[in-house]
Amino acid sequence: MNIEIINIGDELLIGQVVNTNASWMGEQLSLAGFSVNQFTIIGDTREHILDALWKASERCEVVLISGGIGPTRDDITKTTLCDFFGTRLVFNEEAYKDVEAIFARRGYQVTELNRQQAYLPEDCISIPNKLGTARGMWFEKSCPSRILHPASCIQEARSRMQDPGSGMHQVIYVSMPGVPFEMKAMMNEYIIPELKTRFHPKSIYHKTILTQGIGESFLASMIEEWENNLPSFIKLAYLPQPGMVRLRLSGTGDEENAIRSQVEKEAEKLSVLIPDYIFGADDDQIEAIVGRLLKEKNATLGTAESCTGGYIAHLLTSVPGSSAYYKGSIIAYDNAVKEQMLSIMPETLQEFGAVSSEVVIEMAIGAQTNLNVDYVIAVSGIAGPDGGTEEKPVGTVWIAIATPDEVFSEKYLFGDSRERNIRRASLQALNLLRKNLLTDCG
């Protein structure tokens, strides 16, 4: 069974909006064990919508459509759907009550534009939308199958004229709003479960292992043997991002529990192979993991940042509730600030330079005292594009961690990009602290 996705909206074609709906839908469907064939993105015009609906029907059994419906754009898509399915719009009492309820919650009267949304194609199953006023619409239609070669056109047309049922197959079309959170709720709560019931895709189980501090090719060579020995029903995908590489294991088969336990077993082997680089799984975030470990120890954290310029503080404070353990930071971009606020000795700066083990260690100790915290992350480096020297090129970063028992520092050499250097240094620093918090626990 193949699925195609059609996204409708002029704003997508002129690049005003990046089409995240399609990739989200593709991901969720493939996670559910379905195979997605094609995305087709078109504008809000009748001719293109009809063309896309016909063409998709030749190639697949399920067509999922998002966009083109909503209070101000209903006209084209909904009437075009009616024409395509040979039906008409009728007033739907239940749909109107939902619209009324949404307006009542917001304290408004229903507008005429929104009243129109309760008109739905007669021959569809309408899908409730808890989060908005545009309902989903589920259609089924018998469509001509694909004519594989232009040369068969005449012969095919003749046989279809003689027997209208020949060369036909059943296609499901589902139209959804383009507003991402409305579409996502409808997909998760209704459409994917319904497709699973109808088509029984093979069970699929995914586990994503999150690694930090090692590049894709080095990682690949470290786990080559393990990868080569993976059972054939488990696939591995490398998903690199600046500062981390995600490894996704996907197991497919008939028995859900068996697959799950096999995938978990392989993930377990991986965690023995590269324990130093794995910081979590699936949706874990390193800044939240560090927070959890600190909370468990009832410990507090502060930061002292130079080249990362507040990005570590920003990551840590993006986590709701972080004020329970995160006390603050001194961002010492300037050497005078390093001396004044972090109590760094002018001699240390002069002798070793701001980007040195000595300075980053004094930064950590200074922050520990001045912010009165248990743990400190301190970073000093050259983010670029300027400021590099032969001895300390752009991308050179020193990171120090101060704990209640010790202070230590490590040196890294990242790349040329300022943005990536800031991100890589920040993730590396958080991972260093995470590892220390874990050892400390054990």
Instruction: Report 332-351 residues binding its own copies (CB under 8 A).
Output: 332-334, 336-337, 340-341
Beta strands 168-176 and 62-66, pairing class: parallel
Binding of its own copies at residue 13 (CB under 8 A)? Answer: yes
How distant, in Å, are the alpha carbons of 10, 248, 434 from that of 208?
A: 35, 4, 19
Beta strands 136-144 and 234-241, pairing class: unpaired
CA 426 to chain centre: 20
Per-residue x/- track, 145-184, its own copies (CB under 8 A) = -----x--xx--xx--------------------------
Binding of its own copies at residue 188 (CB under 8 A)? Answer: no
Binding of its own copies at residue 327 (CB under 8 A)? Answer: yes
In terms of CB distance, is 263 or 307 closer to its own copies? 307
In terms of CB distance, is 113 or 157 closer to its own copies? 157
In terms of CB distance, is 95 or 427 closer to its own copies? 427
What residues between 227 and 246 interact with its own copies by CB under 8 A? 237, 239
Binding of its own copies at residue 203 (CB under 8 A)? Answer: no
Closest contact distance (angstroms) between CB of 206 and its own copies is 11
Token duo for residue 44: 């809000």
Q: How many CA atoms lie within 13 A of 130 on its CB side?
A: 8
Whether residue 357 contacts residue 403, with contact meaning beta carbons closer than 8 Å, is answered with no
CA 180 to chain centre: 13
Q: Tell me the residue ranges of DSSP E strands in 11-67.
A: 35-42, 62-66
Of the ranges 24-32, 62-70, 74-82, 107-115, which one interacts with its own copies (CB under 8 A)? Answer: 24-32
Q: Which of 9, 19, 213, 277 touches its own copies by CB under 8 A?
A: 19
What is the Cα–Cα distance from 221 to 61, expressed in whole angstroms? 41
In terms of CB distance, is 56 or 99 closer to its own copies? 56
Closest contact distance (angstroms) between CB of 275 and its own copies is 26
Query: Roughly how many angstroms between the first and final C-alpha of the chain, as a whole number?
Result: 50
Binding of its own copies at residue 186 (CB under 8 A)? Answer: no
Of the ranges 7-15, 187-195, 263-271, 358-366, which one interacts with its own copies (CB under 8 A)? Answer: 7-15
Q: Which of 111, 261, 271, 323 touches its own copies by CB under 8 A?
A: 323
What residues between 349 and 408 interact with its own copies by CB under 8 A? 370-372, 383-387
Beta strands 168-176 and 125-127, pairing class: unpaired
Helices 335-342, 357-371: inter-axial angle, 10-degree rounding: 40
What is the Cα–Cα distance from 200 to 58, expressed in whole angstroms? 22
Binding of its own copies at residue 202 (CB under 8 A)? Answer: no
The values of phi and psi at residue 268, to 5°, are: -60, -45
Q: Which of 22, 270, 360, 364 touches its own copies by CB under 8 A?
A: 22
Give Dmax over CA atoms of the chain in angstroms.
Answer: 96
Binding of its own copies at residue 79 (CB under 8 A)? Answer: no
